[in-house]
Structure 1
Amino acid sequence: MSISKSKIDQACRVAEEFTKLYYESTDKRRHLISRLYLDTGILTWNGNGLTGNERIQKFYIELPSSDHTISTLDAQPIFDGAVNNQLSFLIQVSGTVKYQDKPPKSFQQSFVITAQGDKWKIVTDCFRLQEPLTSTDKN
């Protein structure tokens, strides 16, 4: 059940390459974002869920233009038995995002990506703006 150091190192390298591509696509090439998701990919964006790479692309195209800045990036391999021996990684990102003329906001994002041939595809993607709870949220 142990995960080798080489797999951990690979997860870190892949995470750096993948997140660079992902955020460049999100900020500059949204019309291509569906290529990064499995056909059955899942996005949870601030508590709102979508399934399917075409629906996810449509959602991103409708968002205001964005500029992401990454502060932290972590990655780890997922134990082979949990993913039927399919090479998969968990990636966690935090940073700031600026939408059009709004002030920057902090965000956190987690991905599970899996190898599909020589490409990495997003299985699940969970994005959350980091905003303080309001008094109605505390109930």
Structure 2
Amino acid sequence: MDAEIKSKIDQSYRTAEDFTKLYYESLDKRRHQMSRLYLDNGLLVWNGNEASGKDNIQKYFQELPSSSHNVVTLDTQPIIDESTEFAPTFIIQVSGNVKFQENPSKPFQQSFMITAQGDKWKIATDCFRLQDALSLLERK
């Protein structure tokens, strides 16, 4: 493997671990600060509901019930392309369990594309989906 590519892969794993820890701590405990994590024109798709722009994303999160997330799996990869050579960009895949208020815990899956903005990482796109087995079976 090319040393430069291996370095980008290693950086993506370190970044993904730090970023997801910050993201879920913010979502569960400091939700009023979520807009800081998104690009000004970031896109959120949450269970099929869309919010675009960090102000609309902040409003969307404020309307969700309180939550507690438990990350089970985490994977990441760098985007290696000329279009992102000036700003490191990574795709992060997360799965785990989430509990909203007093409801039972449910599995979820989430994908992020994050990009470096100076010394901070910002979310360009964020796609969250609860994994409800019954609704998956009904689609067949």
| TM-score > 0.5 by shorter chain | yes
* 1:112 aligned onto 2:95: no
Question: Which has the larger share of helix?
Answer: 2
Q: CA deviation at 1:49?
A: 1.1
Give 1:58-137 correspondences, 5 Å limit. 58-83=59-84, 85-134=86-135, 137=138
CA 83–2 in structure 1, closer or farther in 2 if over 3 Å, else same:
farther
Question: Is there any run of 5+ residues in structure 1 with no aligned partner, and where?
Answer: none
Q: CA deviation at 1:137?
A: 4.8
* TM-score using structure 1 length: 0.93
* Superposed CA RMSD: 2.0
Aligned-partner Cα distance in 2 for 1:11–1:96? 23
Aligned-partner Cα distance in 2 for 1:99–1:76? 29
Q: CA deviation at 1:84?
A: 5.3
Alpha carbons 2:66, 2:101 under 8 Å: kept? yes
1:76 maps to amino acid: Q
Q: CA deviation at 1:52?
A: 0.5
